[in-house]
Structure 1
């Protein structure tokens, strides 16, 4: 860092420390929003520093407050031109992610049919299927645990899936498939 940059940095820090609290209060009262006031104060300091790099200014504080007041007026003018947005009204008009009562009832019914289909599986197919789906075991882990080949594990899982799909089609032919997000 050069001596000029160091001097400029110290001058910027001193300017900010000297005027930031008063400028923030001034802008907060004018705008009614501390967050907007902070944004405009930061922009005001940036513009002041840009101006003072090219030519010296007699009254930095006065220029800073003039810049801030102009930016605040511009902001208020823009805000007045924008229509007021009622967030609550928008939220009520958006479609809901929640399932309709009919869809929730249909899902519960399909889930019960699936539970029953799994219970009706042959014991070995049910055991393999539950180890795979509920416990998250791999074909190899299931094969090792049950003393069967991975190919047999694959057969039992395919058999269980086909059986469950068939049962759901037979017993719930008119229900819509579940919606995916």
Structure 2
């Protein structure tokens, strides 16, 4: 078992506990405790995004594997896990979109009847339809319940840029969902 001494002195929290980074602990034990505190919420959040509990659990598990590999560079495990999972979900949505396009081409490229989104669009569909820069901010702020400052840090943007992205996303979502009430 590898023992690591986390480089930063700043404490971080998970669950009800605050842990000092200067405590020498094994990476596996640290991730195990973070896992106990956050796995259920992370998997549930991913399930709401992808609509498939098995796939969501795979994404949450993969995020924890990545956390184990990158633990020494992670300051705040919770937002890092949600960002990693959001990236996995985004990649899944992209792949699914490419597969749908390829399948349409294989079927002869016939355009189906246009869908009346006013009667069938869900919030999840609308969020999926947002551009990546807006979708990530929405997923992390509204669905993962991370503060704007944390979202900005995770996305490498200023707080003002994240606020603008959220404003733009709300406007687009309102427009898409306007007739679905």
TM-score, L = length of structure 1: 0.41
TM-score, L = length of structure 2: 0.41
Asked which structure has the greater RCO (Cα within 8 Å, sep 6+), the reply is 2
| Structure with larger Rg | 1
Could you say which structure has the higher helix fraction? 1
